[in-house]
Copies of this chain bind each other. A is one copy, B any other.
């Protein structure tokens, strides 16, 4: 038996999700909170690494006792529907559990994933917004309806099974760079332009390079043909810049089984 929790966090104050020797991470903070809550050391495993400054609306992580001596079947005294109330008081204000579920031991927060969805938010107004500081990438130059439509057309190119090696940052060690994008679109929501993408997996910096490519097309620094070449010929130099992390949100994760999320 494992506890699965759904988490929202503002990543501005963290060096990403995954624990590392230097800098505070979401995983380290969660591990400490759950260990204090249960009274014994816990392991927290996330659905994804997220980069420093990246946010999450529906991040998923499992919690299990770290100590083998703790019963594996009857260790959680807190009903899942009340987990958010119990643990949120032990978490800093920029991290919150929003739901919890019981899952079986064969469930893995990363390997049981069917698809993940991300949003990239661009604040497109001449002025900066005090409420979007570190929460959206600011692009002051107007993206008009024609440019927005072109961005959306480029997003449609990403849909389907492709080798996304041209949309991966150097330094990644993955061998299989083929991923399937299930949905992608670009829409305006007030002063924000939101790129939404769902896929069975993402390469290192893939969403940020996609978002950078869309912005480069909107501003005429790249053509949609450049992006086509980046995709067809796996050519990183034809794709756009790597958009900054502050506009990126992990929004949703789908699993290979039904999860009975609870929250009262």
Contacts and interface: CB of A to CB of B under 8 A. Distances in A.
Interface of A: 8-10, 55, 84-85, 88, 93-99, 125-131, 133, 135, 263-264
Nearest to A133: B93
A127 B10 contact: no
A227 to B, nearest CB: 30
A209 B45 CA distance: 45
Given A93-B133, A97-B127, A126-B264, 16 more contacts: A8-B129, A8-B131, A9-B130, A55-B131, A84-B126, A85-B126, A88-B127, A93-B130, A94-B133, A95-B130, A96-B127, A96-B130, A98-B129, A99-B127, A126-B263, A127-B263
Contacts of A94: 130, 133
Contacts of A95: 130
Nearest to A142: B264
Contacts of A135: 131
A125 B94 CA distance: 16
A85 B131 CA distance: 17
A213 to B, nearest CB: 27
29 contacts: A8-B129, A8-B130, A9-B130, A10-B130, A10-B131, A55-B131, A84-B126, A84-B127, A85-B126, A88-B127, A93-B128, A93-B130, A93-B133, A94-B130, A94-B133, A95-B130, A96-B127, A96-B128, A96-B129, A96-B130, A97-B127, A98-B125, A98-B127, A98-B129, A99-B127, A126-B263, A126-B264, A127-B263, A131-B135
Q: Which of A9, A97, A129, A264 has the most CB of B within 10 A?
A: A129
Contacts of A130: 8-10, 93-96
Top 5 nearest A-B pairs (CB, nearest first) are: A84-B127, A98-B127, A10-B130, A94-B130, A93-B133
Q: Which of A10, A94, A128 has the most CB of B within 10 A?
A: A128
A163 to B, nearest CB: 35
Contacts of A128: 88, 93, 96
A133 B125 CA distance: 24
Contacts of A131: 8, 10, 55, 135
Q: Which of A84, A99, A135 has the most CB of B within 10 A?
A: A84
A214 to B, nearest CB: 23
A96 B85 CA distance: 36
A120 to B, nearest CB: 16
